[in-house]
Structure 1
Amino acid sequence: MTGLMSDMPRKNGWTIAEYVGDRTPDRTQRLLNQAVWDHDQAQGVVRRFVVEQLGDQPLRVGALDESGQEKQGESTAGAKRQYMGCAGQVANGVNTVYCSYATAGGHALVGARVYVPQEQLVDTGRRAALGIDAGLEFRTKSQLARDILADMIADQTIPPWIAGDEVYGRAGKLRGFLEDNGIGYVMRVGCAFTIELPTGERMRADAAVTTHLAGRKHTKRWQVCSVTGSKGERAYAWAWLATTSPRHSLLIRKHLQTGELAYHYCHVPAGRPVTLMTLVRVACLRWPVEEGFEFGKDHFGLDHSQVQLYTALLRHIVLTLAALAVCAVTAAQAKTQAQQPILPATPDDEPPDDPGLIALTVAEIKRLFLLVTRRQQPENHHLHWIWWRRRHQARARWFHHRTRLRRQTGQT
């Protein structure tokens, strides 16, 4: 854990062993490959810790997504040529399905399942060579997401809402599983997704928008909503179409400049009041899972493991989630006590002499942890740099916000 929270550029068995003072990587390799410990139970501990610390937030969303780790060859469990989001194309690697526990105040990754291709499971010899348990069955990405959510239901850490992209939005069995368990969802779907309108018409999502929301006569059916994101306020136009089911609807997002549309299929459990703004906020809390991938990979080595066996791969991921959770929860708690940095109110505002400081980030919390474990310079030197970065980022945020205000008003 100390190695994963260090500032080493690569975090694998060899580098961590050297960092903690071992003479060989045997101990770190044994921890991941042969040591007796239950990574699923450890993942549950991480999940309960995060939910205990962030569970008092008014809006809580489980955000589903997958992320990958590029690999060479076919000797690693889960590795094959497939679409890799991290590469933006088809590449050789391992994909893992994750769930982020996301709130407006903070978020952390709390669940992970490695996607194992069917061809690795049907070959008994290859299965054994990759360290894949005989009881593991082939699961699609949406089924892996359902397994994560089933664990969260079992230990009562499931949030009231689930969000996901089209991979999960088009999975009818996943949506049915959530509905059967009284969990609301806002899932991205494609333009060809079919809904049934209260009139009895069955239409594609894009056709429904063209028929019922396009043109000047329907302008009032669009509502501009602004939601705070990691880079400030983001405003879009939103519309809400009812279906024959009183518990289901289609939520449409429209970009204010380009007019680009995004479609979300929504389910609201019986007895739960909901507004358009609630569904908008749930939809926008899908994005923190991407931030979790960025933090996990850049700061904690989520995709740095050079292991090959299935169990070792999962164990490295779980330990990374634990390190990330400690820093993410601490950053969320610090955020509640921090003063907000100054932001411009109009496009013509002049920059202040002192814009203030941004709240402590996950990266800065990790650096504070390093002050306790390994200090290369005097403490005041490191604290000065943490202060300097936060002030510099507050100033950059001020100019970024003013640029957005000028863009919105047509100024250059």
Structure 2
Amino acid sequence: MQVWSGWFEEFFASLAWVFGRADRRRTAMAYLQALIAPVERKNGWQIAEHVGDATPDRVQWFLSRSTWLPDQLRDCVRSFVVTHLGRADGVLVLDETAFLKKGVKSAGVARQYVGVTGQIENCQVMVFCAYAVDTGRALIDREPYVPAVWTQDAARCREAKIPRPRAKEVITKPELGRRMVERCRRAGVPLGWVAADSAYGQDRELRAALERRRIPYVLAVPVDETASTHGTGPLRVDVLTRKVPLVFERRSCGKGTKGERRYDWALAEVIWPGGSDGGPRRGFVHLLLVRRSISDASKVAYFAVHARTGTPLSEIVRVMGLRWSIEDCFETAKSDCGLDHYEVRTWDAWMRHITLSMAALAFLNVTATRTDDTTSPPPPVPEPDQPDHPEKGDPDPLSS
């Protein structure tokens, strides 16, 4: 516990400057400690109770009216994550999550599709960017999605304090994702790949933007997305896979709740529309990745791949496995860090709570990684070197 407390103090020291005055810093620290504490509902009342306040007034003031910028906190969270998890083969994962809400006053709330329920419901939607490596993951950026019913109503945007540029046009979710990738690139985040589901993969402008930056990607695409080969014209990917030879390999893309996620995988060289004219840029290749269920061969998924020439299937499958990391982040952030527990309406308060929850998640996930590192058993003591010429009856050391 003493080590954990020291790590938290070190973590908070890296972002305390964001909050300025001492009173805001104290409230920020208490708020973060409440978000990682076993508080049932991490809303204003229960956080206030946890920190010893009789009313939620101080917490509400901190979220709604105090002077600090959540984007600065976001940048601190990103730096913290990269410091502890950053690797050259790191994967940025894009996805959105919905926050169910009642009423029409909360910033950006509207009847929208909710992936968890598969239905159209009254909710707010935010696009997130996760950073994932084999040893850990965390959310490092976020952008709220503002639907047309808001952007077309300037008075409503003003009431919810949505920034003026947001009140002019609808910015698509893939465009929000592209902006986050660009921010990470400019901030020097070690970036090997970008991964996302088909809501982002089917956006040709996003794919083209990544290719211009020479950023490899593995993006899911729907069956009606088209690709071509040198022997065919543009075809739907489900049709194309019946016309080109595919060699499937059985591989795991990581562990899930039920064990290893094993599928049959195949690659085909193609040309994806929307990228570089005439095909991929020099040193890169366009590929179609096909994933087939082992138990039901009719269950097939397709992925657009932009990779460096010679990238092995094993690396692409690894990236596919890390794509699910953002779902783990959403689940943990909501269950343990109060990501969806807020009861605020204005844009600023919403962004502040979400970013503080991201900070809490980053601390928990990085702490788990650091704890694993300190509790891992020491490496085995190497055995004495084998003799150059084994004695009679000894196994050949090169044959094992």
- Counting only pairs closer than 5 Å after superposition, residues 224-303 of structure 1 correspond to structure 2 as 224-231=250-257, 232-244=259-271, 245=279, 247-259=285-297, 260-269=299-308, 273-303=310-340
Displacement of 1:123 in angstroms is 1.5
Secondary structure of 2:290 counterpart: strand
Displacement of 1:167 in angstroms is 0.6
- Counting only pairs closer than 5 Å after superposition, residues 4-403 of structure 1 correspond to structure 2 as 4-56=35-87, 59-136=89-166, 137=168, 138-157=170-189, 159-213=191-245, 221-231=247-257, 232-244=259-271, 245=279, 247-259=285-297, 260-269=299-308, 273-338=310-375
Distance 2:33 2:252 in 1: 40
Distance 2:190 2:135 in 1: 17
Distance 2:80 2:38 in 1: 24
Distance 1:16 1:110 in 2: 24
- TM-score, structure 1 length as denominator? 0.77
Answer whether contact 1:198 1:242 (CA < 8 A) is retained: no
Q: RMSD value over aligned CA atoms?
A: 1.6
Answer whether contact 1:149 1:158 (CA < 8 A) is retained: no
Secondary structure of 2:164 counterpart: coil
Distance 1:168 1:333 in 2: 33
Give, as a single letter, the amino acid of the residue that structure 2 aligns with 1:222. Answer: F
Distance 2:117 2:142 in 1: 20
Distance 1:241 1:339 in 2: 40
Give, as a single letter, the amino acid of the residue that structure 2 aligns with 1:44. Answer: D
Displacement of 1:277 in angstroms is 1.0
Q: How many residues align?
A: 331
Give, as a single letter, the amino acid of the residue that structure 2 aligns with 1:152. Answer: C
Which residue of the partner structure matches residue 347 of structure 1? none
> Aligned in 2, Cα 1:172/1:17: closer, same or farther, shift over 3 Å?
same
- Between the aligned residues of both structures, percent identity stands at 36
Distance 2:242 2:69 in 1: 52
Distance 1:319 1:86 in 2: 23
Answer whether contact 2:91 2:133 (CA < 8 A) is retained: yes
Distance 1:162 1:307 in 2: 32
Distance 1:113 1:337 in 2: 35
Displacement of 1:338 in angstroms is 4.7
Secondary structure of 1:81 counterpart: strand
Distance 1:325 1:172 in 2: 31
- TM-score, structure 2 length as denominator? 0.80
Q: Deviations over 1:72-99 (max 9, x none)?
A: 0111011111101233311100011011
Secondary structure of 1:210 counterpart: coil
Q: Deviations over 1:253-311 (max 9, x none)?
A: 00101111010001125xx6411111111111110100000000001110010100011
Answer whether contact 2:95 2:127 (CA < 8 A) is retained: yes
Answer whether contact 1:105 1:335 (CA < 8 A) is retained: no
Distance 2:158 2:190 in 1: 34
Displacement of 1:194 in angstroms is 0.4
Distance 2:214 2:329 in 1: 27
Answer whether contact 1:163 1:286 (CA < 8 A) is retained: yes
Q: Where does structure 2 lack aligned partners over 5 or more consecutive residues?
A: 1-31, 272-278, 378-400
- Bigger drift between 147-156 and 186-195 goes to 147-156
Answer whether contact 2:94 2:128 (CA < 8 A) is retained: yes
Q: Deviations over 1:142-189 (max 9, x none)?
A: 111112112112211152200000110011111111111111100000
Displacement of 1:331 in angstroms is 1.0
Distance 1:45 1:180 in 2: 28
Distance 1:55 1:156 in 2: 10
Q: Deviations over 1:333-391 (max 9, x none)?
A: 23345559xxxxxxxxxxxxxxxxxxxxxxxxxxxxxxxxxxxxxxxxxxxxxxxxxxx
- Bigger drift between 177-186 and 152-161 goes to 152-161
Secondary structure of 1:319 counterpart: helix
Give, as a single letter, the amino acid of the residue that structure 1 aligns with 2:206. Answer: L
Secondary structure of 2:128 counterpart: strand
Distance 1:183 1:339 in 2: 34
